[in-house]
């Protein structure tokens, strides 16, 4: 059970730590100083460590207090979000929806989809979790999310798919790379001798297979030097000069420093982005999401 008294005490401690003064923190919280002091002492008793120490220059966290501040701040922020959501539900707003979204769909696909959802349900509470395709499908299987935007364009039981659209592969290059200069599209075959930074096939088999197939169609076998556990790590490795990468055009919206994106000649297609849901849980929430997807993207 959540102890809201402890949550309030954590907020009181953070206020004193930020203000560096009990009096200023009390004024900020709308309290008198003695009750605030009592709340901090109660929190110290609960945690079993001393959190604050007073000196001539004011009040500052102890070493233990400093170590706890990042964790307590996250707890306090989560508590605020929980309180806000509870308030929305008390006011009769719609039950929250949970969705997963792959990184490469965050810019081109998520905004129009979420806008269509909110247009259909203005009071919608939507929680979005960034996941790769494999994790998103597992979350759908477990019922942790209601629907997901994934890199998948072929049926995959027990999941239903609604294709939202397709984008293209780009070459992601370190900014100092010779091929990073210029505006004209480059042939994919020019990457034949380049070490590539790849996402592992376990993250998205369809996405991995499409990239390998594109390289083979260009006449070479990709030479992977490193596998990255996420799209962000992949771009960081490129920026660090470990190699080039093939990425979906949607990822270019991240605009990471040190990385240059180049178009590929002929427009090499990527794996499409689809709305996915668990067909064993074809709920009203899923029906709403499918309608919003159709409104935003038509037939994909």
175 plus 254 within the same structural domain: yes
Q: At what angle do helices 4-19 and 33-47 cross, to 10 degrees?
A: 110
Residues 114 and 152 in one domain: yes
Say how far residue 268 (Cα) sits from the centre of its chain: 26
Mean pLDDT value across residues 64-75: 86
d(CA 205, CA 153): 11
What mean pLDDT is predicted for residues 265-285? 90
Q: Could you tell me if 30 and 85 lie in one domain? A: yes
Burial class (CB in 10 A: 0-12, 13-18, 19+), 212: middle
- 101 and 161 co-located in one domain: yes
Tell whether 140 and 257 lie within a shared domain. no
Residues 187 and 265: their CA atoms lie apart, in Å, by 5
User: Do 26 and 79 fall into the same domain?
Assistant: yes
Contact at 8 Å (CB) between 234 and 243?
no
The answer to whether residues 157 and 284 belong to one domain is yes
Both 176 and 157 in a single domain?
A: no
Same domain, 110 and 189: no
Domain boundary among 58, 73, 90: 90
pLDDT value at 294 more than 90:
yes
Do 13 and 129 fall within a single domain?
A: no
Angle, helices 33-47 vs 22-29, to 10°: value is 100
What gap in Å lies between CA 50 and CA 43, rounded to an integer?
Answer: 9
- Tokens encoding 138: 């597992």
Size (the chain), residues: 300
Stretch (H or E) spanning 179: none
Domain residue limits at 288: 97-165+272-297
Give me the number of domains the chain comprises: 3
Cis peptide before 28 (omega within 30 of 0): no
Measured CA to CA, the distance from residue 62 to residue 54 in angstroms comes to: 10
Cis ω on the peptide bond leading into residue 176 (within 30° of 0)?
Answer: no
Do residues 32 and 38 lie in contact, with contact meaning Cβ atoms separated by under 8 Å? Answer: no
Burial status of residue 133 (CB atoms within 10 A of its CB: 0-12, 13-18, 19 or more): buried
Q: What is the pLDDT of residues 9-39, one digit of tens each?
A: 888 888 888 888 888 988 888 888 888 899 8
Does residue 155 sit in the same domain as residue 281?
yes
Strand runs (DSSP E) across 93-222, as ranges? 97-101, 126-130, 147-151, 159-165, 169-174, 195-198
Pair type for strands 58-61 and 273-278: unpaired
Q: Which of 63, 90, 117 is the last residue of a domain?
A: 90
CATH number, domain of 216, equals 3.40.190.10
- Provide the pLDDT for residue 1: 45
The pLDDT tens digits for 201-251 are: 888 888 899 999 999 999 999 887 778 888 888 999 999 999 999 998 888
> What gap in Å lies between CA 150 and CA 140, rounded to an integer?
11
Question: Tell me, what's the pLDDT at 81?
Answer: 73
Question: Is residue 256 located within the same domain as residue 115?
Answer: no
Q: How confident is the model at residue 141 (pLDDT cuts 50, 70, 90)?
A: very high
Domain-terminating residue out of 67, 90, 113 = 90
Separation between Cα atoms, residue 93 and residue 123, nearest integer Å: 6
- Backbone φ and ψ for 101, nearest 5 degrees, come out as -150, 130
């Amino acid at each position: 059970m959540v102890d809201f008294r402890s949550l309030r005490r954590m907020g009181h401690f953070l206020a004193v730590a930020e203000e560096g003064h009990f009096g200023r923190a009390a004024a900020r919280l709308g309290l008198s100083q003695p009750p605030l002091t009592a709340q901090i002492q109660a929190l110290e008793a609960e945690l079993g460590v001393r959190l604050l120490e007073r000196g001539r220059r004011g009040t500052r966290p102890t070493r233990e207090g400093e170590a706890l501040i990042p964790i307590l701040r996250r707890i306090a922020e989560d508590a605020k979000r929980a309180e806000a959501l509870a308030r929305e539900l008390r006011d009769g707003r719609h039950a929250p929806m949970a969705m997963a979204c792959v990184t490469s769909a965050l810019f081109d696909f998520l905004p129009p989809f979420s806008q269509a959802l909110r247009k259909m349900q203005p009071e919608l509470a939507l929680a979005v979790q960034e996941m790769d395709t494999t994790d998103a499908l597992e979350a759908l299987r477990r019922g942790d999310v209601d629907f997901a935007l994934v890199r998948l364009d072929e049926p995959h039981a027990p999941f239903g798919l609604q294709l939202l659209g397709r984008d293209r592969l780009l070459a992601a290059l370190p900014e100092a790379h010779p091929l990073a200069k210029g505006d004209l599209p480059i042939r994919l075959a020019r990457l034949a001798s380049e070490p590539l930074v790849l996402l592992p096939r376990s993250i998205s088999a369809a996405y991995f297979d499409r990239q390998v197939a594109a390289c083979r169609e260009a006449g070479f076998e990709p030479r992977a030097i490193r596998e990255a556990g996420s799209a962000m790590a992949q771009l960081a490795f490129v920026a660090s000069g470990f190699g080039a990468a093939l990425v979906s055009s949607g990822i270019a919206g991240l605009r990471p420093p040190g990385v240059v994106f180049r178009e590929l000649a002929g427009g090499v297609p990527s794996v499409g982005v689809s709305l996915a849901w668990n067909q064993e849980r074809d709920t009203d929430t899923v029906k709403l999401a499918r309608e919003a997807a159709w409104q935003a993207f038509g037939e994909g």
